[in-house]
Amino acid sequence: MIPIDGREPAPPRRSRRAARCTASLADGKRCREAVVADGLCDEHLAERLEAEAAAVTPDWERKLAGGLAFLRRRVTGDYPVDDFGFDPDLTESVFLAAVRPLYEKYFRVEARGLDNIPAEGGALVVANHSGTVPLDALMTQLAIFDHHPAHRHLRMLGADLVFRSPLVAPIARKSGGTLACNEDAERLLSAGELAGVWPEGFKGIGKPFSERYKLQRFGRGGFVSAAIRSGVPIVPCSIVGAEEIYPIIGNVKILARLFGFPYVPVTPTFPLLGPLGLLPLPSKWVIEFGEPIATNELDRGAADDPMLVFNLTDQVREVIQQTLYKLLLGRRSVFF
């Protein structure tokens, strides 16, 4: 370019538009924040640095840091507890951590169909009950928390005996459990919580080994009424593997009546082997969550229709029973 007035031409104007972050947001859209370094904004750069630091931090050091942080929260009282006594901080850091080795290494639980559990809002998980000791409830709770994308807490609905026991009751309350009654169930479900119920109760976990995987009566359908009134879906859950951990071959009814227990079991190892007989057998577990059964299309008054409640209860029970048969046919061995 030749200047006509003898002056040097002005340099071309540069765009003043700041560079934008190259990271993507949770919804898949591009981040619009200004770049600070390495093509990232402040927030995404901090996330990357934190992830890199965690990757090089030894596992024991991370666990130690987590334990110290937990102790600090307990000492300062910086943890939430809801109206039911549920303490999520204690549940995650202590209770679930204690049963995780059983879940992962001992029973080698395989969880299927977790996408059938909604990521938010109320829902009622209904499962078969077995195993002499209700470990199936704990394994279901851990499966949902550890492996569901939303890491939801399962609020378990338990029998009266659980909350009358001096040692068990406080742990049950703090880990999210509450009494299996319609009032508490509806409060939880209406508040958007994920609740779990095992309608067979003690008849399920205390049945003899000869009746394994044959569902007992599902009560009068109280769980169905609670789901209808709350307008939440019912998620059938089938558990295979729990029946074999303590095979019941007898029941000492005299001792059961004496101590007020629903049963005093006799298994191939207990009381024959004494305290060693309390060790559960290492069966291979599968927990499958079925397709949810919607109730929001029903009127709230349908909860007072005994025939409708009975039919829906029977439908849930039949879905669980047929899934149990399918899972039993598909497994190679009780222990593998």
In DSSP terms, which residues pair with 238 in a beta bridge?
A: 288
Give the pLDDT confidence score for residue 264 in this predicted structure.
94
Q: What is the pTM of this model?
A: 0.82
Q: Sign of dihedral through CA atoms 225, 227, 230, 231? A: negative
**pLDDT digit string (tens) for 21-38?**
888 776 667 888 888 888
Pairing of strands 194-197, 123-127: parallel
Q: 12 or 226, which is more confident?
A: 226
Distances (CA, A) of 256 to 243, 259, 262, 264: 21, 5, 6, 5
In DSSP terms, 14 is beta-bridged to: none
- pLDDT more than 70, % of the chain: 92
DSSP code string of 209-229: GGGTT-----TT-HHHHHHHH
pLDDT of residue 263: 93
Q: Taking CA 215 as the corner, what is the angle to CA 211 and CA 216, rounded to the nearest 5 degrees? A: 90
**pLDDT in the model for residue 49:** 79
Which domains are present in the chain? 42-76 (no CATH), 88-245+280-330 (3.40.1130.10)
> What mean pLDDT is reported for the chain?
91
Q: What does the pLDDT look like over 265-305, one tens digit per residue?
A: 999 999 999 999 999 999 999 999 999 999 999 988 899 99
Other CB atoms closer than 10 Å to residue 153's CB: what's the count? 18
Could you tell me what percent of the chain has a pLDDT over 90? Answer: 75
